[in-house]
C-alpha cells in the first residue's frame, strides 16, 4: 500500500472517529458539539495542507524516480514551498541536469568514436564477450578482402584467413609484424577493454608495405650506390691498363705468351660482366616514376610470349595463352609493365627448368592477370622472402628480379601475390 493511501485512510478514520465521539459525548450540548465540529474541520484542513506539503512532493519524487528508471532525464520537479522537501527537489533537479549533460557528452563521444573507427586508416575488428566479431570497420574489410556478411557475428576462431590465423596466436597486449604472400606486410595488434566489468578484445590491422618498401629501398640504394662507385672506379682503370697491354703486338706474338694474353682477355670480359652486374643493381635504384599512358595489356602479353618463346622451346616449355584478339586497356607505364611481365615469365621458366607449361589468363571482367607454372613450387619459408631485396633461391641469382617487379606494381597501385596453389601450381596474380 502506498504512503498516500495510508495517509488518507489514517486521516479519514481519525476524523470520522472524532465526529462519532463528539456526537455521543456532546449530544446534549449543542454549543460544545458545534465547537467540536469546528475543531475537527480545522484538523481536516490542516491534514490536507500537510498532505500537499509532504505527501504530494513525495509523490512527485516518486514520479521522478520512475523517470530516472526509464532513463528520461528531461523530467524536472516544481518546488512545493516546503523547505525540507524543496531541498530534496533542488538536489533531484540538479542531479537530472548532470545526468542529462553526461548522457549528451557520452553520446557525442560515442558518435565521435564510431566516426573515428569507420574512417580510421587502420583496420579495426571488435569482438564481443564470446570472441564473436561484433563490429568491423571498412579498412579491415578492405585489407581482409571480405564482405561484412562473411565475418560479422562469427567466432574469430572459426574464421579462416591468413591474417586472422596469425591473430589467433596473439595474446592480449601483444603485436607482431607479418608478411603475407611475400608481398604485403601487416602489423597485427590485439588488446582489450572492460565493458560492464568484463574484458572484450579488439584487433588492429595496419599495412606497413609502403613504409617497409621505402625503408628497404633507402637502405639497399645506399649500399648499391657505394658498391657501384667503388666497382666502376676500379674496373675503368684496370680495363684500360689491360687493353693497353694487349695492344702491344710484339709482346703477344711469341707462342709462350698466348696463354697469358688469353687470360688477360678473360679478365677484361669478366670486368665487363661485373660492370653489367652492377648496372642491373643501379637500375633498381634509379627506377623512375611510371609514365602512365593507355596500353593494350593483351597485345603486351602476346609480345612478351613471342619474345620468350624461343628460349622456352630450348627447354621444352610451352606457353598456354588463349587470346581472342579482344583488347584490354589500362593506364600504366608500357616499358615498366613489359619489364615486369618479362621478369615474371623468366622466373617461371627458371622454376620449371625443363619440360613444363606456363599458363597465362587475363580476365577482363575481374581485371585480373594470372601467370601460373608447374615448376618446383615455393616452400613456406621461401614464400615469406620472395620479394626481399637480394634474396634468391638460384645459385647465381642476384635477387633483384622480383624486387623490381614488386616496386613497379606498387608504384602503379596494382595488388599482386605469388603463392603455391592447392593444385600444385605456382601462381602469380596481378589485380589491375
Strands 356-363 and 317-321: parallel
pLDDT of residue 331: 94
Question: Is the predicted pLDDT of residue 47 greater than 60, yes or no?
Answer: yes
pLDDT of residue 124: 92
d(CA 212, CA 346): 26
35 and 162 co-located in one domain: no
Q: Edge-to-edge strands of the sheet including 175-180?
A: 133-136, 123-127, 198-207, 184-195, 175-180
Q: Which of 207, 230, 251 is the last residue in one of the domains? A: 207
Q: Is the dihedral of CA 314, 315, 320, 321 positive or negative?
A: negative
Within a domain: 299: yes
pLDDT of residue 359: 92
pLDDT, tens digit, for every residue of 353-400?
788 899 999 988 899 999 998 888 776 666 666 666 555 666 555 556
305 and 423 co-located in one domain: yes
248 and 354 co-located in one domain: no
Q: Is 42:51 a contact under the CB 8 Å cutoff?
A: no
Higher pLDDT, 187 or 261: 187
**21-30, 39-48, 402-411 — most confident range:** 402-411
313 and 402 co-located in one domain: yes
Q: Which residue has the cell 610451352?
A: 318
pLDDT of residue 309: 86
Within a domain: 112: no
pLDDT of residue 239: 74
pLDDT, tens digit, for every residue of 269-315?
777 777 776 666 666 666 778 889 999 999 999 888 888 888 888 88
Question: Is the predicted pLDDT of residue 181 greater than 90, yes or no?
Answer: no
Higher pLDDT, 226 or 74: 74
Per the prediction, the chain carries an average pLDDT of 80
175 and 233 co-located in one domain: no
d(CA 350, CA 354): 8
pLDDT of residue 137: 92
Containing domain of residue 227, as a range?
212-285
Q: Edge-to-edge strands of the sheet including 368-373?
A: 317-321, 356-363, 368-373, 426-431, 415-420
Within a domain: 229: yes
237 and 342 co-located in one domain: no
Question: Is the predicted pLDDT of residue 57 greater than 70, yes or no?
Answer: no
pTM here is 0.51
302 and 416 co-located in one domain: yes
Within a domain: 114: no
Return the H-helix or E-strand segment holding 10.
Answer: helix 3-25
User: Which band of pLDDT confidence, cut at 50, 70 and 90, is reported for residue 51?
Assistant: confident
Q: Which of 230, 251, 285 is the last residue in one of the domains? A: 285
311 and 350 co-located in one domain: yes
d(CA 363, CA 365): 6
How many domains in the chain?
4
Amino acid at each position: 500500500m502506498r504512503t498516500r493511501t495510508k495517509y488518507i485512510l489514517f486521516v479519514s478514520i481519525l476524523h470520522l472517529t472524532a465526529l462519532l465521539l463528539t456526537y455521543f459525548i456532546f449530544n446534549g450540548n449543542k454549543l460544545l458539539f458545534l465547537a467540536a465540529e469546528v475543531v475537527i474541520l480545522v484538523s481536516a484542513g490542516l491534514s490536507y495542507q500537510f498532505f500537499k506539503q509532504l505527501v504530494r512532493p513525495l509523490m512527485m519524487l516518486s514520479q521522478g524516480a520512475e523517470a530516472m528508471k526509464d532513463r528520461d532525464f528531461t523530467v524536472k520537479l516544481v518546488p512545493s514551498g516546503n523547505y525540507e522537501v524543496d531541498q530534496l527537489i533542488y538536489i533531484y533537479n540538479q542531479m537530472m541536469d548532470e545526468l542529462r549533460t553526461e548522457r549528451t557528452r557520452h553520446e557525442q563521444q560515442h558518435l565521435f568514436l564510431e566516426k573515428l573507427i569507420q574512417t580510421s586508416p587502420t583496420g579495426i575488428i571488435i569482438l564481443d564477450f564470446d570472441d564473436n566479431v561484433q563490429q568491423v570497420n571498412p579498412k579491415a574489410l578492405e585489407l581482409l578482402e571480405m564482405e561484412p556478411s562473411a565475418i560479422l557475428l562469427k567466432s574469430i576462431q572459426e574464421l579462416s584467413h591468413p591474417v586472422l590465423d596469425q591473430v589467433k596466436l596473439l595474446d592480449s597486449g601483444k603485436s607482431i609484424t607479418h608478411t603475407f604472400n611475400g608481398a604485403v606486410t601487416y602489423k597485427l595488434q590485439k588488446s582489450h577493454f572492460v565493458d560492464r566489468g568484463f574484458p572484450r578484445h579488439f584487433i588492429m590491422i595496419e599495412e606497413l608495405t609502403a613504409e617497409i618498401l621505402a625503408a628497404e629501398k633507402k637502405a639497399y640504394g645506399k649500399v648499391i650506390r657505394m658498391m657501384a662507385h667503388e666497382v666502376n672506379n676500379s674496373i675503368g682503370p684496370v680495363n684500360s691498363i689491360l687493353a693497353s697491354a694487349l695492344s702491344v703486338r710484339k709482346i703477344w706474338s711469341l707462342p709462350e705468351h698466348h696463354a697469358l694474353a688469353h687470360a688477360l682477355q678473360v679478365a677484361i670480359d669478366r670486368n665487363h660482366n661485373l660492370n653489367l652486374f652492377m648496372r642491373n643493381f643501379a637500375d633498381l635504384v634509379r627506377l623512375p616514376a611510371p609514365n602512365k599512358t593507355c596500353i593494350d595489356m593483351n597485345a603486351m602479353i602476346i609480345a612478351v610470349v613471342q619474345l620468350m618463346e624461343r628460349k622456352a622451346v630450348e627447354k621444352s616449355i610451352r606457353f598456354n595463352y588463349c587470346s581472342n584478339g579482344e583488347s584490354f586497356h589500362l593506364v600504366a607505364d608500357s616499358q615498366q609493365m613489359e619489364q615486369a611481365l618479362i621478369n615474371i615469365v623468366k622466373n617461371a621458366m627458371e622454376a620449371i627448368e625443363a619440360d613444363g607449361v606456363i599458363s597465362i589468363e587475363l580476365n577482363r571482367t575481374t581485371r585480373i592477370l594470372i601467370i601460373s607454372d608447374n615448376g618446383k613450387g615455393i616452400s613456406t619459408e621461401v614464400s615469406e622472402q620472395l620479394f626481399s631485396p637480394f634474396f634468391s633461391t638460384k645459385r647465381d641469382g642476384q635477387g633483384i628480379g622480383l624486387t623490381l617487379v614488386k616496386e613497379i606494381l606498387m608504384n602503379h597501385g596494382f595488388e599482386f601475390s605469388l603463392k603455391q596453389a592447392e593444385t600444385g601450381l605456382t601462381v602469380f596474380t596481378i589485380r589491375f
